Every structure is written in C-alpha cells, then in structure tokens.
Amino acid sequence: MVLGSTGTMKGMRHLVSLTLVALLVTSVIACVPTASVPESTPSATSPTQTSSPSAAQSITVSAIPIPARISVSDSAITSSAGALLLFQLSGDTRLRAITFDGGVSGTLPGQVPANTLWLQSAYGAPYLVGSTIYDRNARSLGAIPWSVPTVSPAWSTEGTSLCAAVPEGPTTRSAMRLEQFTLGQQPRVIGTGFTNYSDNAGFPVLVCDSTTDRIITAVFGQGIAFARLWVFRLSNGSLVRAAERPAGVVGAWVAANHDGSLLAESVRMTNAGPWMTRVMRADDGTQVATIDGFVTQGFSGDGELVVGTLGANRVAIIEWRTGRIVWNATGQYGGFRAEPNGKRLAVGVGFFGGSDQRDVYLVAAEGSAILLPASVHASLRY
C-alpha cells in the first residue's frame, strides 16, 4: 500500500502507527478480506512491458543468516545525491538518513516529535511532518490542504506533489474526489464521485505518477479489506479501469508498482487455504505471473521484485517472473520502502510485544543485507 509510517503515528488509516500496522499485517496474514480484477477494455497506454503469463511459481525457502547490526553516524549527512531512507533511533527525535546501500548515513537538521505523523517522499526529501512539508534542510515548504485524520496523502513518484482521496465532508456517503497538491499551488481536483466516503474504511492512493499519467486509488474496509480500485489518468481524471473483489474469495490484498503499470493481487479461497499472488497489468487486468503461497505488499523500484509474506511468520523478496527467492527473514512483515528505479529495498521485520519497534534491513539486489540499529522508526510503507 501507499502509506508512510513511523514511530507512534496516530489517527490515520493508511498513515498509522506501527502498532496498528502490526495488527493490520497480522490480519492480512490470517484473514484479509477479498480482492479481484474483472475484465475491462484495455487502455491504449501500457507503460511497462511484461512477460506472457506463467504457471504458478513454486517457492523453496532457505533460511538466510541474520547480519550484524551496523553503526550509523551522528554527524550531519554529507551525501547530496541519490535516494535516502529516513529514520529515527529509539527515543531520539532527531531525523536521520541512510543511503540504500548503507554506505552513507548521518543526521538531518529536522526533528520529529513523539506521536507525530511523518512521511518521506521517494528520495527522502521533501518530507511531511504532521501537516507541514519540509525540505532536506528542515525549511518549511508550506502545509498540506487536507485534514490528516480524515485524509491519507501519498507522495507522487517524483516527490513534487501529494495526492489524496478526499471526502466532500467527513460523513458517511459523502462523495469522494481525487486531488493533487503541488508545492506552491492550490490543490487540483482530478476526478469526483467515483465512490462514497465511509468512516469505517480507508481510501489510500496507491500510485500518483505524472510520467505515466496514472493515479490509482482503492477502498479498504477497516483499512485492511480490499474492496475496489480505480485507475485514472492523472492529467484529466478519465477512468481507465475499475476492478473489485470477486465472489467466493475470502482473503485479499493489492499493491501497485511505482508507476502504476503493474498490480499484485494476493488472494485465498478459504480461511485455512494458501495465498496466491497474481501479477497483472493495471490498465487491463491481464495476468502476467502467479506466485503460490505469497502475499505481496509492494514492488521494488524497477518493478522486477516483490516483497511480502510467506506463511504466517516469514518475510521475503521474490523475483516475480521466476518465483526465485532473493532474500527472506523470520518474523512478521513490518513495511518496506523501495529505492527509486532500483532493486534495493528497505524491509521492516518483526514487532516486539505489540510495540511499534522493528528491525529494518537494507537488502541489495542479489540478496545480501545489512541491519540497522535495533528498534528504529523508519518511514516505511506497508
């Protein structure tokens, strides 16, 4: 999903505390409600070329040794290029950053007070703290135009705007609209009336990408039960495709890659039955691969890998075209963040006694990993 999370964030579905994320992920593994993709008219645009459909991939798991934890620098970070993962050490309000290869780390000027929502963009900055946007030097760039407890904003792929599904009013059955807020401008309405608001559901934006002219939003009952999604053109709000869960499916989840060209729909047919991921083209629902026994939570930045859960207590990164496991670790899934346009992933694993603390691994393309200090709070998506 398209959510950022950290430390002890409160009051939002899809931008929630890690404690709540733990509960949601447990529900996804155990009993997540359903999702599906009906047939529809293909769009003329197909941003990503994909392989032809393949048979379900069989998963063979070999445990990978847990790496030693790395030390991170207390100095101001000096790297001026590339993507950064933002995080905090336990009990420390200073905002820190590390490159996805772990080679450079340090502190940023900004701080995030306890119990405050924060969400980084794809490259680390700008980032959102509460309702205020900051640049890398902790200078305020202005406030978002939405009420955070009601609206779940998501950064655009390029990090120059935020997109959100916004109710006309905070009451059930209010019409929903899609908006894009570009820094320094008034929010732009993309489309309206595609669904109605419910205070018992979440309305995340899964993708907002101007390069492919796509915005994808969905509705999840209780924040975890995928019900329906819509693929729109970002430029004019025209509907490319709508999809909803099929009858007879008892568990489901859905995730999108960074440019909105691919969806990964994870389903199971019975409460005790196995999960299966179907990778498909977002614009027309054409299936291009399946992975048995796996719940997909997200894609790598290049769209070639998926990250998610194997069974009830293992997190894995898988090459979806072949089913090859690139990396895995024992524990509950705890969120991810993808290196833009690359294969490296930051992956959260494990919750401790119901707290919002977890291990965060930085996983390289070939499957090697480094482990951040214990109990960090990172700006991960789940």
Residue-by-residue DSSP string for 317-345: EEETTTTEEEEEEES-EEEEEEPTTSS-E
- 7 domain-assigned: no
Q: Which two tokens stand for residue 47?
A: 């941003």
List C-alpha distances in Å: 348 to 5, 18, 90, 353, 358.
Answer: 11, 10, 15, 16, 6
Whether 46 maps to a domain, the answer reads no
Domain assignment present for 131: yes
Q: Report the candidate in 364, 294, 299, 359 with the shortest Cα–Cα distance to residue 327.
A: 364
Question: At 27, is the secondary structure helix, strand, or coil?
Answer: helix
The string of pLDDT tens digits covering residues 133-144 is: 999 999 999 999
Q: What band does 59 get if pLDDT is binned at 50, 70 and 90? A: low
Peptide bond into 53 cis (omega under 30): no
Residue 362: which CATH number?
Answer: 2.130.10.10
Domain assignment present for residue 324? The answer is yes
Is residue 101 within 8 Å of 342, Cβ to Cβ?
no
Residue 342 in domain: yes
Between these two residues, 56 and 186, which has the higher pLDDT value?
A: 186
Does the structure show a pLDDT above 50 at 294?
A: yes
From CA 232, how far away is CA 235, in angstroms rounded? 9
| DSSP state for residue 68 in the 8-state scheme | P
Residue 210, helix vs strand vs coil: coil
pLDDT digits (tens, 9 = 90+) for 281-290: 999 999 999 9
What pLDDT score does 222 carry?
A: 76
The first and second tokens of residue 114, run together, are: 């306890």
Q: Is the pLDDT of residue 20 over 60?
A: no
Instruction: Say how many domains are in the chain.
Output: 1
Q: Which amino acid is at 55?
A: A
Q: At residue 131, what is the residue type?
A: S
User: Residue 4 falls within a domain, yes or no?
Assistant: no
CA 85 to CA 198: how far, in whole Å? 33
What's the first-to-final CA gap in the chain, in angstroms? 5
What integer pLDDT is reported at residue 354 of this predicted model? 47
Domain, as residue range, for 27? 18-39+51-167+175-378
Q: Is residue 10 part of a domain?
A: no
Tell me which DSSP letter residue 48 carries. S
pTM listed for this prediction:
0.84
The separation between CA 243 and the C-alpha centre of its own chain, rounded to angstroms, equals 19
Is 183 among the domain residues? yes
For 35, residues 6+ apart whose C-beta sits below 8 A from its C-beta are 226, 227, 245, 249, 252, 253, 254, 265, 266, 267
Confidence of residue 39 (pLDDT cuts 50, 70, 90): very low
Residue 56 neighbours by CB distance under 10 Å: 15
84-88 and 94-99 as β-strands: parallel, antiparallel, unpaired?
Answer: antiparallel
